[in-house]
Chains A and B, each alone.
Chain A
């Protein structure tokens, strides 16, 4: 079984500041990891994914995440926050060997202060 823990249900940053959203995972087999973003009244859309290739993964809208096996982490970062980044972000995990259902974290709401 696998799980993800997102630290902080709400994060506030100033426009132009670094965005750091934390995600720790638990998996008994090598994981595949994802970050999704949900804008108000919309479904989730994929930001980026890690599938055992490069540990630093670049996604859309300037976001990136680094897979750190030793820390069981997959934190999401963006150097400079933009007002349009205000949304809810979900970390998700699935096992790499054979299809397993994707397990989503509880989400982190990002507020960007002008």
Chain B
């Protein structure tokens, strides 16, 4: 199994630009999570999906952030417009079907730098 796949691994953009982060969960996992990690705030859950449906987006910082999961094998996290304070490492994770409290498998992350 290839594990959780994220792209791009690194993204450098200028303030005001749109940024799209991509995630492919492990096949068969029906929970998908987006996290943000910064030195100041640690690891924060932004949103999670169950069977492609957003369940809890209370961690999404503001309307500039949006996430979609059009099918079981793909999710996007979009920031529009981006700001320097959005610079962070964004992780996608997925978990086993039927056992959401079980292990979450993390992708390698996307390091976003907004200039």
Contacts and interface: CB of A to CB of B under 8 A. Distances in A.
B106 A104 contact: no
B107 A43 contact: yes
A13 B93 CA distance: 31
A102 B45 contact: yes
A43 B45 contact: no
Contacts, number: 44
Interface in A96-114: 96, 99, 101-107
B115 interface: no
B106 A43 contact: yes
B101 A46 contact: no
A102 B106 CA distance: 13
A94 B101 contact: yes
A25 to B, nearest CB: 14
Interface of A: 32, 34, 41-46, 49, 51, 90, 94, 96, 99, 101-107
14 contacts: A32-B101, A41-B108, A43-B109, A44-B43, A44-B104, A46-B104, A49-B102, A90-B43, A99-B100, A101-B45, A101-B56, A102-B101, A105-B42, A106-B42
